[in-house]
């Protein structure tokens, strides 16, 4: 066998030498002859060195995974992105080769996966609004506040801003949208702006966009208009005018309990505790708005007359309807002024402000003082008289003594 190898090897050497000689004869080089001889050299090489008995094929190197014998075959395993892949082959080398192919594909898959993770798929603005509202906002606000936010997003934000990728929304888009609320619905515009700032800020944190286009907006600040309590005379006339209305008891409950519009509408039979003389008011605005107040005498007379609906609700009315009818009866005031009137009457009765604040469901007493306490004409006259009476009980001593002054002059 060794003599055969030597003979074929010598043939290869001779062919190589002939090719070198012909290449040196630059003018007489025949390209076809060289190509044929190189081709023959290649064939001779294959015959000499590709025979298994002379030079057996080496086992390929395993790049990843593992190979083990299993029965009459080999089993290869490799994990790619958390999923295990299997290869079965009768030859170990073939099994390793196929496993290496999977390993190469796995590297590409991991690279693409990391790229998608670092650069998530673009999300449209309206889709993100919906996700943000459910995931980040709904768990932190009351049901009623969530309902209001849903309405503002549906009726204003989605209609005013395009449904494009988040990075394509510009500061100018937001500015033009909010400019619509300069002369009308300023409070709605303020709420819409706050929602946009929070929503897009979270998008930046989540890596969905590079900057918050709702920042740096020039907007006319909303001046909150505080309500005015009904005067005593207005209250008497109001109670007289609402007698024929089906909303009569509803308006009286608002007046005698200080409940907000939505809170009074949500009252049910189960909220009345006759045994302990307490009324539970289901708060809808803040955590402290859910509260329990005493059933005052005027409030008790109203509650005892109410016939609840089949579902237990005391007032099965729509919010817009009660607001509309209140305006017809009391055009100079808002429905919320009944709440302001209740708080003012408590203050006139000299009830401590902390108790009044708790009954109103305010987070702090400062809110009650800043937005609800109004000095009525009757209240001013009452405290003026009180100060005058106090001055008469403790008269100030005068330093003026005519006799002493005359003696000094003499």
In order of 34, 49, 290, 391, the CA distances from 23 in angstroms are 8, 26, 101, 132
User: Is the pLDDT at 29 greater than 60, yes or no?
Assistant: no
Residue 211 predicted with pLDDT over 50: yes
Identify the pLDDT of residue 180. Answer: 85
Q: Is 215 within a domain?
A: no
Considering the domain architecture, whether residues 166 and 246 belong to the same structural domain is answered as no
Q: What is the pLDDT at residue 52? A: 45
What pLDDT is recorded for position 154?
Answer: 92
Q: Assess if residue 217 is contained within a domain.
A: no
Q: Give 287's pLDDT tier (boundaries 50, 70, 90).
A: low
pLDDT band at 133 (very low <50, low <70, confident <90, very high): very high
Weakest mean pLDDT among 11-15, 255-259, 335-339, 385-389: 11-15
Residues 183 and 317 reside in one and the same domain: no
Q: Answer yes or no: is 404 within a domain.
A: no
* Residue 112 covered by a domain: yes
* 3 state SS of 242: coil
Q: Give the chain's end-to-end CA distance (angstroms, integer).
A: 161
- 41 and 184 together in one domain: no
Query: How confident is the model over 285-302, as a mean pLDDT?
Result: 84
Cβ–Cβ under 8 Å, residues 268 and 335:
no
Q: Is the pTM of this model over 0.85?
A: no
Q: What is the CATH number of the domain that holds 136?
A: 1.10.150.130
**265, part of any domain:** yes
Residues 378 and 238 in one domain: yes
Do 172 and 313 share a structural domain? Answer: no
Over residues 145-171, the pLDDT tens digits come to 888 899 999 999 999 999 998 888 999
Rg for the chain (alpha carbons), in Å?
45
Co-location of 135 and 267 in the same domain? no
User: pLDDT confidence of 130, banded at 50, 70, 90?
Assistant: very high
* pLDDT band, very low/low/confident/very high, at 348 (cuts 50, 70, 90): confident
143-182 in b/e form (b: 16+ CB < 10 A) is ebbbebbeebbeebbeeebeeeebeebeeebbeebbeebe
Query: Of 118, 135, 159, which residue constitutes the final position of a domain?
Result: 118
| Residue 150 included in any domain | yes
Same domain, yes or no: 167 and 282: no
What are the residues facing 89 on neighbouring strands? 74
Tell me how many domains the chain contains.
4
Q: How sure is the predictor about 53, in pLDDT bands with cuts at 50, 70 and 90?
A: very low
Residues 160 and 186 in one domain: yes
109 and 148 in a single domain? The answer is no
Partners of 272 in the β-ladder: 279
Average pLDDT over residues 125-143: 89
Rounded average pLDDT over 164-180: 89
Residues 253 and 385 reside in one and the same domain: yes
In a domain, 310, yes or no: yes
Residue 54: pLDDT band (50, 70, 90) is very low
Q: Is residue 141 part of a domain?
A: yes
Q: Is residue 11's pLDDT more than 70? A: no
Tell whether 284 and 353 lie within a shared domain. Answer: yes
135 lies in the same domain as 248: no
**What number is the average pLDDT over the span 208-226?**
76
Q: Which domain holds residue 280?
A: 232-389
């Amino acid at each position: 066998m060794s003599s055969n190898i030597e003979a074929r090897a010598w043939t290869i050497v001779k062919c190589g030498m002939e090719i070198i000689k012909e290449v040196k004869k630059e003018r007489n080089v025949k390209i076809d002859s060289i190509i044929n001889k190189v081709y023959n050299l290649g064939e001779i090489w294959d015959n000499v060195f590709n025979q298994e008995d002379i030079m057996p094929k080496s086992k390929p190197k395993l790049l990843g995974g593992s190979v083990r014998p299993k029965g009459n075959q080999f089993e290869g395993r490799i994990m790619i992105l958390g999923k295990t892949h299997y290869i079965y082959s009768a030859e170990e080398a073939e099994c390793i080769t196929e496993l290496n192919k999977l390993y190469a594909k796995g590297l590409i898959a991991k690279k693409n996966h990391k790229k998608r993770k670092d650069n998530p798929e673009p999300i449209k603005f309206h889709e993100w609004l919906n996700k943000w509202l459910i995931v980040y906002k709904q768990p932190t606000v009351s049901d009623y506040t969530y309902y209001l936010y849903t309405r503002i997003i549906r009726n204003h934000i989605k209609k005013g801003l395009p449904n494009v990728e988040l990075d394509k929304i510009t500061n100018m888009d937001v500015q033009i949208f909010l400019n619509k609320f300069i002369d009308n619905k300023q409070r709605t515009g303020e709420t819409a702006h706050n929602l946009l700032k929070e929503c897009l800020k979270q998008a930046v944190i989540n890596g969905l966009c590079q900057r918050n286009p709702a920042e740096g907006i020039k907007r006319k600040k909303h001046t909150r208009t505080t309500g005015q309590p009904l005067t005593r005379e207005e209250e008497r006339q109001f109670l007289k005018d609402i007698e024929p209305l089906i909303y009569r008891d509803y308006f009286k409950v608002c007046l005698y309990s200080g409940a907000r519009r939505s809170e009074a509408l949500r009252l049910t039979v189960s909220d009345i505790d006759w045994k302990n003389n307490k009324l539970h008011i289901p708060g809808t605005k803040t955590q402290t708005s859910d509260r329990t107040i005493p059933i005052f005498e005027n409030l008790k007379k109203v509650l005892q007359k109410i016939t609840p609906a089949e579902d237990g609700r005391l007032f099965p009315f729509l919010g817009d309807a009660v607001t509309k009818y209140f305006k017809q009866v009391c055009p100079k005031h808002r429905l919320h002024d009944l709440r302001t009137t209740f708080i003012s009457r408590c203050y006139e009765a000299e009830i401590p402000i902390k108790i009044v604040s708790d009954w109103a469901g305010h987070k702090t007493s400062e809110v009650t003082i800043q937005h609800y306490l109004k000095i009525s004409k009757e209240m001013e006259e009452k405290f003026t008289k009180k100060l005058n009476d106090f001055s008469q009980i403790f008269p100030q001593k005068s330093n003026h003594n005519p006799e002493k002054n005359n003696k000094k002059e003499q």
